[in-house]
Structure 1
């Protein structure tokens, strides 16, 4: 190859590497920005609620209450789901199949009104004003969105979604068992796994994350049910009482259960699924024991997913740290 062509090729290669590195830097900046935003209560209208207020890492990024009230104090409608491997989900809410991106989902607690959670609808401009007043945030937004522009809701939900895509849970006793470590599950848990497969649980709780991402009813809805699930969106009577199958990773630390949080313990949730009354207490016990084998301790304590360390000109609001004395609803 002539020297001139070789130099040109080298320059192009170096340019491609530089572009890729810049993209990697931007992606990492989005994740770190999203992490900080996830824990910042300034994203709620009165500064009392962050994403992390309801999504606590030690609970698999679920909550611990049946439902969680929003900033107005009105009761929540549905149980807070965990976020393990949330980027892999085809459906992202209990009852609305139209919400299929993490960006769209992140906007619901921020701006939704049914119910009001963080209460920012009508206060969208306040987001840019609050965050833009902080020098650290201004630098983080420039790094994450180098094309510039104002700090706004679109950038906020994009960054939060980038952070949520890093919430990967793949290191449970169940995973190690599937990889060939027979001793990763106890004898009781292995019996529960067999029951899980033979008693029909995998009809809905299938796949790597034990969900089919579809909508099902475990029992006919009550005639006076206030929450009709999927039917609220479709308007079809046949969809009444259908809710999305939740994934089961870290389920043992995310009580209470079901869409309304009405099952306080794993055994209660299992019994609610046993509409034919075909499970004896011993089978329920081993099923519950198997479900404890879906807990990823590393995920629950991964510092990359936790409250970011100090370093900005101002500390985060105490309300942003769920385990640091924030005000919250009583534990269920």
Structure 2
């Protein structure tokens, strides 16, 4: 059965955007604000070749989505093709770093589900403090706060914080760094941004709000719903029945994932709800309190996690270490952690992991075979097109 031929798929409707006082949120269509001149096309062609064509924009706003995917947190900044295209350019542009060496995509690489297979990522003045989080299906999540410690209230707010971080992209305005205002001036002097902002907004003004809006639209457009799980879920009435396209081991893992601990399951679904497999926004710390590079430090502020989709690529290879401190090199390691959690000394541990009334920690009594079955099920959550679709790829000519 071909995924795109399945009749149960319906597109999510294109929503009208809200207007803001600064007129940065007024675009409500998938086309630019004016006709594209031949001169503009030639200017962009010199930088992007055929990768960016304003007369034939890639489809970001009206992608096919399974009808059982109901979450959508993009209402205040709905995706349009034109601004997501601008966001794609910004996402891959190394000019957004102070020394022109780092882009958003340096730490969030398409080949690794928009994460990094290194434990921490290299910035302009050092390394990131935590492992780079996968950016899969951020639109389809209940948790709308960002960073591992949820310090950004929205994805929009998150997008410019790494730019203003001294270690990451260097426009902090501290320690001799240039400021964000310096970045905006820098971008206004780049010819292709004059053309792209004119096309998207009707003028060449570049502001932080516009950077945030367009970057967030591009990131929310990154979706992955062509996995083995999706192929099985489409023809099943619900997640609780065996999927006909699964192996026995995968169905066993699925059953363990959904069955609560008091019924001899793992209860993973309590925090990672299907079918999006996003994190419950009320979740507290998961028992991982390490700090990368400092064996004596602890950090209980981490309460967020990415979706469980695309932990592995479509070849079954893990897309990098797990957890904020990259302390789990494999899914088996992570599952063994959840199988036996010590609550001692963790004041922010999620109550669901405290092991009941005693509160001493969780012990699921999963066998080695159970752990491997759960890993097999998690592998079914990995798609294919997210790694190859050119609309999410680097638009710059190399």
1:174 to partner: Cα distance: 0.7
2:29 pairs with 1:23:
yes
Contact 1:111–1:119 under 8 Å retained in 2: yes
Partners of 1:160 and 1:293 lie apart in 2 by: 29
Q: Which of these residues, 188, 198, 201, is aligned with residue 268 of structure 2?
A: 201
5+ unaligned residues in a row in structure 1: which ranges?
A: 1-19, 231-241, 316-332
Mean Cα deviation higher: 81-90 or 290-299? 81-90
Instruction: Tell me what 1:219 maps to.
Output: 287
2:215 pairs with 1:160:
yes
Instruction: Tell me what 2:368 maps to.
Output: 281
1:226 to partner: Cα distance: 3.4
**Structure with the bigger percentage of helix:** 1
Instruction: Tell me what 1:126 maps to.
Output: 182
- CA-to-aligned-CA distance 1:240-259 (integer Å, 9 cap, x gap): xx521431010124220012
Q: TM-score, normalising length from structure 1?
A: 0.76
Alpha carbon RMSD of aligned pairs, Å? 2.4
Q: TM-score, normalising length from structure 2?
A: 0.64
Instruction: Tell me what 2:250 maps to.
Output: 189
2:120 pairs with 1:67:
yes
Higher relative contact order (CA 8 A, sep 6+): 1
Q: Name the CA shift for 1:21/1:65 in 2 (closer, same or farther; >3 Å).
A: closer
Instruction: Report SS of the residue matched to 1:226.
Output: strand
Instruction: Tell me what 1:328 maps to.
Output: none
Contact 1:212–1:245 under 8 Å retained in 2: no
Instruction: Report SS of the residue matched to 2:194.
Output: helix
Contact 1:214–1:245 under 8 Å retained in 2: no
- 1:85-164 to 2 correspondence within 5 Å? 85-89=137-141, 90=143, 91-96=145-150, 98-113=151-166, 116-122=167-173, 123-146=179-202, 148=203, 150-164=205-219
**Structure with the bigger percentage of strand:** 2
5+ unaligned residues in a row in structure 2: which ranges?
A: 1-25, 33-79, 174-178, 237-242, 260-265, 313-317, 341-362
Instruction: Report SS of the residue matched to 2:163.
Output: helix
Partners of 1:309 and 1:108 lie apart in 2 by: 23
